[in-house]
Amino acid sequence: MGDYKFAKDKLAEVLSSLGDYQVFAPTPAGDVVRFLEVKDPAAVTLESANSTVPPKELMFPETETLFKYRLGDTGLDPSVPDASARRLVFGIRPCDAMAYTIVDNLFSWDFTDPYYLNRRENTTLVGFACGDPCANCFCPSMGGAPASEKGLDALMFDLGDTFYVKTLTDKGDAFAKAAGLDAAGDAESKAAEKQAEEALGKVKRSIDTAGIPEKLPSLYDHPFWEQFSDRCLSCGICTFLCPTCHCFDIQDEAEAFNARRARMWDTCMFAEYTVHTSGHNPRPTRKERTRNRISHKYSYFPEKFDVIACVGCGRCINNCPVNIDLLDILEKSKQAEGKEAKTA
């Protein structure tokens, strides 16, 4: 594990030198920034505070084939990603890297999911510390930080003319070697430390989560959910852009005789998500769906995996078309008076 650096104007050069890897980096795409495979290093942007679309899609794509088959045949051809491939995510923010460590729990409990886990294994994560946290970030409240090292193989800091790179794992060292980075000294590591501390102080929003996981079940019937669900449009953007949301649908699709079984992102904010074939829906209105989204992240998930399924990236707040504010919901949940779970 070492300290490295490279001049900012050498960014394209560094990215080009990673020929052994399939490299993904934040890239403007229409109105959004998302992590795309680097074809032209000049297209990469490190200016954006964070990508609009989280890099969860690199481990858990919006749609992916589980297996292919021919209609009429019974032979199944699985499309499992190669665990020994070499992929590298360049410029991932610490919150999004931490999100992987949370979602890992889900995809590896009991039944292991080779699609997600093989991608996790074959990918090197080169993080990019936040010098200027966004307006709605609250990563420190979720156990993160603008320069958190959780889940990362290397962490990069913007020091003006220079990028300082601290490698954290063997995978990170392999990246530094492949990129031919120069050694950095005390000056750079001290500057990075200072920046990390200052950035932490710049995070404007926070929530004390103590007691929330235990309390939420007692608010099952509480009317306070309606303050938020009444204006919810059920658009699902809070879940699609959430780096820890992992729910999916599975569908069979066929074109002529070429068929596949695929999985695709789904959202608990859609009515169809839970509706039974009989027409009965255990979560019939936006109230039940809002309650489930919040309870899943802040109560059910931690009960099962001992970690809250949120990293404080602020995307759900930034992108909600009707300004539903997650932290507002959590604060109100703390004020609301709970009662013992009802019995049937």
The footprint of other proteins (CB under 8 A) covers 66-67, 69, 71, 74, 76, 78, 80, 106-107, 109-115, 217, 220-221, 246-252, 254, 259, 261, 263, 266, 268, 273-278, 280, 282-283, 288, 292, 295-296, 299-301, 303-304, 341-344
Q: How far apart are CA 15 and CA 59, in angstroms?
A: 21
C-beta of 289: minimal distance to other proteins in Å?
11
Nearest C-alpha neighbor of 27 from the set 52, 44, 51: 44
β pairing state of 162-167 and 154-158: antiparallel
Question: At closest approach, how far in Å is the CB of 37 from other proteins?
Answer: 25
Which residue, 74 or 323, has its beta carbon nearer to other proteins? 74
Instruction: Mention every residue, 6+ apart, whose C-beta is less than 8 A from residue 166.
Output: 1, 2, 3, 4, 149, 154, 155, 156, 157, 189, 192
* Contact of 146 with 139, CB cutoff 8 Å: yes
Looking at the Cβ atoms of 212 and 268, the one nearer to other proteins is 268
Looking at the Cβ atoms of 43 and 66, the one nearer to other proteins is 66
Closest approach of Cβ 313 to other proteins, in Å? Answer: 20
Q: For other proteins, which is the closer residue by CB, 10 or 119? A: 119
User: What residues pair up with 70 in beta bridges, in sequence order?
Assistant: 258
Beta carbon nearer to other proteins, 107 or 164:
107
Q: Are 184 and 154 in contact (CB under 8 A)?
A: no
Whole-number minimum distance, CB 59 to other proteins, in Å? Answer: 13
| DSSP secondary structure of 127-169 | EE--SS--TT--GGGGT--TT--TT-SEEEEE-SSEEEEEE-S
- The least CB distance from residue 120 to other proteins, in Å, is 14
Cβ closest to other proteins, residue 66 vs residue 200: 66
CB of 114 to other proteins, least distance (A): 5
Nearer to other proteins, 197 or 221 (CB): 221
Q: In the β-sheet with 162-167, what is the strand arrangement from edge to edge?
A: 32-37, 22-29, 87-92, 123-128, 154-158, 162-167, 3-7, 182-183
Token pair in block for residue 135: 């307006």
How would you write 306-325 as a 3-class SS string? CCCCCCCCCHHHHHCCCCCC
- Return d(Cα 283, Cα 290) in angstroms, integer: 9
> Least distance in Å: CB of 263 to other proteins?
8
